Amino acid sequence: LIFLRHHIDDGLKYEYLTVENPLELWQNLNDRFEYWKAVVLPKALNDWAQLRFQDFKTVSEYNSTLFKIVSQLKMCGEVITEDMLLEKTYQTFHASNMLLQQQYRLHGFTKYRELIGSLLIAEQNNELLLQNHESRSTGSAPLPEVNATSSEFRGRRRGRGRGCGSGRNQNFLGPRNNNSMK
């Protein structure tokens, strides 16, 4: 009796203050809230039917909503098994993720928490890949050459070859008319 009164809402404590028998208190409370099943169950069943993994941006949002619905169904006396949770998640993957869905099925998860853990890890890894891609998108900066050496250009030309007018045959446009010097 003390336990029941301790966990009852304050408004209900005063209403049932005179009831001394724990069984009578329990029956009164049960009678008072029995209609909740008739109110909550149809909505919870509809929410379960409409729940789609593909409709959520994150795995955590889906998981939270799923367990809210499951707790309502269990409160109404419905039995929800691990297989039902797994199938609900598998069947509501987006069509473009069919290959992923098949891979998760083949993995052979027997517990819903294992599947969600795997999905959370995959989601986190995808976010990291996207962050890395956005911080330096493809082609934004050249990759360093493997055999490249670092050097500073100080205005002096050194080395060999024909670059920048050095080397043999500086008159590569053809012989100049040197008559002006004669």
Q: Mind listing the pLDDT tens digit for each residue in 17-35?
A: 667 787 887 788 788 778 8
Is residue 112, in this structure, part of any structural domain at all?
A: yes
In a domain, 1, yes or no: no
User: Which pair of tokens denotes residue 67?
Assistant: 């367990």
Q: How many domains does the chain have?
A: 1
Angle between helices 59-75 and 82-91 (to 10 degrees): 140
Residue pLDDT, tens place only, 52-100: 999 999 999 999 999 999 999 998 889 999 999 999 999 999 988 889 8
Q: Which residue has the tokens 């007018």?
A: 165
CA atoms within 13 Å, Cβ hemisphere of 179:
1
CB atoms within 10 A of CB 125: 10
| 180 assigned to some structural domain | no
127 located within any domain = yes
64 in a structural domain = yes
> Which single residue is written with the structure tokens 């098994």?
81
Show the domain range for 103.
34-133
Q: Is residue 182 part of a domain?
A: no
**52 domain-assigned:** yes
